Amino acid sequence: MRVLVTGGGGFLGAAVSEALIARGDTAIAFDTHFPNAGIAAPEHCVRVQGDITDMAALAQTVLAHKPDAVIHCAAIVGVLFSIGSPINIVRINVEGSINVFEAMRIGGIKRCIHISSEEAYGAFRAERIDETHPLEPVLPYGICKATVEQLGRTYRDLHGLEVINLRTSWVYGPALPRDRIPRNLVLAALQGRALHIPSGADTAIDHTWIDDWVSAVLAALDHQAHRFDVYNVSSGEAATVTELADIVRELVPGSQLSVGPGLYRHGNRIELVRKGALDISRAQAEFGWKPRFDIRSGLAAYVEAIRGQGE
């Protein structure tokens, strides 16, 4: 299979491109830049430097490389960026996604796996929520995700596209590029630095280990007939920031990590709305995907991977 991976130079896009290549598929990675040198096997990997706001570049890419499907990861990521420049995130995340859908029309490509986010839900109304929870996003990032999901339905109804939305929750892995939990906890512990996170004891978040996220995307890509167009993808359990720090302390004895009371804040500034666990039973029932890592085994794998990099 030939798969166009938008954002193929980023954390998730590069990981799924590598997984496609490893199983013998061809990844056409499309991104404005490629900081991750990891993508090997050039005979199965095409890199296209381009911008999803450039419709002509996307159209040329699908016509030249003839992908069978799209995994759409390109986006401005993170709620802080979205607050700093709402117009920019709408241009890239919404307008860019429309260009991806238009390019699919031009290239006769039916299926797109769109990487959505638990931010599309807004404040969780229960400790564990499933895909029927209302979409009440509160910040531009989540509003854009919900909008792209809905635009995917428009393209389904008008043009026969099949846009499958994976509502992904806080993925972590060695290449996580952002300075946030649990990366900051793991790095501080391994570098012998004390770290105090001012607040977060009352925020429980469902964290997803990178390998589980990759296997979910491939399972959704491969599934023959989807009965739904949206699936939660996460570990299925939430942990408070204090619990994360406790686990990292156990994994790296002697580390000095502490977490203050209250809700976690994005960049120590913007208080998170209520989060929790995602119910992932739909993905399991429909395409047989199940995460292999809980937060403890995922953090253990994370610590080992960072140790292996010589941190």
Ligand X SMILES: NC(=O)c1ccc[n+]([C@@H]2O[C@H](COP(=O)([O-])OP(=O)(O)OC[C@H]3O[C@@H](n4cnc5c(N)ncnc54)[C@H](O)[C@@H]3O)[C@@H](O)[C@H]2O)c1
Binding site for ligand X (CB under 6 A): 7, 9-13, 31-33, 51-53, 73-77, 92, 96, 115, 117, 168, 170-171, 177
Distances (CA, A) of 13 to 68, 72, 117, 156, 233: 17, 8, 15, 24, 16
Residues 6+ away with beta carbon under 8 Å from 187: 193, 306, 311
Q: List, in sequence order, every beta strand (DSSP E) within 57-161.
A: 69-72, 111-117, 128-129
Shortest distance (Å) from residue 256 CB to ligand X: 26
Shortest distance (Å) from residue 22 CB to ligand X: 18
Shortest distance (Å) from residue 58 CB to ligand X: 9
Identify which of residues 84 and 192 has a Cβ nearer to ligand X in the complex. Answer: 84
CA 298 to chain CA mean position, Å: 16
CB 292 within 8 A of CB 216: no
**Element holding 194 (H helix, E strand):** none
Nearest to 52 by CA among 62, 39, 40, 67: 62
Shortest distance (Å) from residue 48 CB to ligand X: 10
Identify which of residues 12 and 27 has a Cβ nearer to ligand X in the complex. Answer: 12
Identify which of residues 145 and 282 has a Cβ nearer to ligand X in the complex. Answer: 145
CA 175 to chain CA mean position, Å: 13
Q: Which residue is nearest to ligand X (CB)?
A: 10
Identify which of residues 53 and 199 has a Cβ nearer to ligand X in the complex. Answer: 53
Identify which of residues 150 and 258 has a Cβ nearer to ligand X in the complex. Answer: 150
Structure tokens at 311: 């941190």
Shortest distance (Å) from residue 178 CB to ligand X: 7
Identify which of residues 94 and 255 has a Cβ nearer to ligand X in the complex. Answer: 94
Identify which of residues 92 and 248 has a Cβ nearer to ligand X in the complex. Answer: 92
Task: Say how far apart CA 283 and CA 288 lie, in whole Å.
Answer: 7
Shortest distance (Å) from residue 68 CB to ligand X: 20
The DSSP annotation for 28-77 comes to EEEES----TT---GGGEEEEE--TT-HHHHHHHHHHH--SEEEE--S--
Q: List, in sequence order, every beta strand (DSSP E) within 124-224.
A: 128-129, 162-168, 171-172, 195-197, 204-205, 208-209
CB 72 within 8 A of CB 100: yes
Identify which of residues 60 and 249 has a Cβ nearer to ligand X in the complex. Answer: 60
